[in-house]
Amino acid sequence: MILPLSKPIKTTTGTEVSELLVPNGTTLLLSVLGANINPDMWGEDAREWKPERWLKPLPEKVIEAHMPGIYSHLMTFLGGGRACIGFKFSQLEMKVVLAVLLASFKFEDSGKKIKWKFPGIAVPVVEGNDATHPSLPMVVSLVDKR
């Protein structure tokens, strides 16, 4: 099967290719994070947290890509027949947990440099630590409610 690429890429040998030969039976993985923060689609500020981004019309490239996301073409819960059936519950659960935690605790950066690994799904690990499990240290302290 020939997989056409949306734009040409350079191989490790420097050759430019615009399609890839994918043998039958090959398992392909899609980077949900990569799709959600692709600067070619979302603009140079794609990695910045900007909720106002969704209050205006989406970039034309995002609409033309027809990514099967449930919200604003984001791939977080996918879409279509293989969409996450628990996405509404998970959103409600996240909102409740965040409301409780943010009212009671203060969260701060631990100062440790974080990198992301991709063993099938993206996971954070402390940079310089070849941990076999995810780790995202942070400083958590009680909020002073005086």
CA distance to 11, 38, 53, 102, per residue, from 48 (Å):
29, 11, 10, 21
* DSSP string across 37-48: T-HHHH-TTTTS
pLDDT at 119: 61
pTM above 0.85, yes or no: no
Tokens of 143: 């909020």
pLDDT exceeds cutoff 70 at 28: yes
pLDDT at 3: 92
pLDDT at 132: 67
* DSSP string across 97-133: HHHHHHHHEEEEE-S--EEEE-SSS-EEEETT---SS
Q: What integer is the mean pLDDT of 101-121?
A: 83
Q: Which helix (H) or strand (E) segment is 141 a member of?
A: strand 138-142
pLDDT tens, position by position, 45-90: 999 988 888 888 888 888 888 887 777 788 888 877 777 888 889 8
Strands 114-117 and 123-126, by their bridges, are antiparallel
User: What residue has token string 């399609």?
Assistant: 19
Mean pLDDT, all residues of the chain = 85
pLDDT exceeds cutoff 70 at 121: no
Distance CA 124, CA 112 (A): 12
pLDDT tens, position by position, 6-26: 889 999 999 999 999 999 988
Distance CA 126, CA 114 (A): 5
pLDDT at 120: 65
pLDDT at 96: 95
pLDDT at 65: 82
Question: Which of 27-31, 38-42, 85-89, 116-120 is the least confident region?
Answer: 116-120
Residue extents of the structural domains in the chain: 1-83, 86-146
Contact call for residues 135 and 126 (beta carbons, < 8 A):
yes
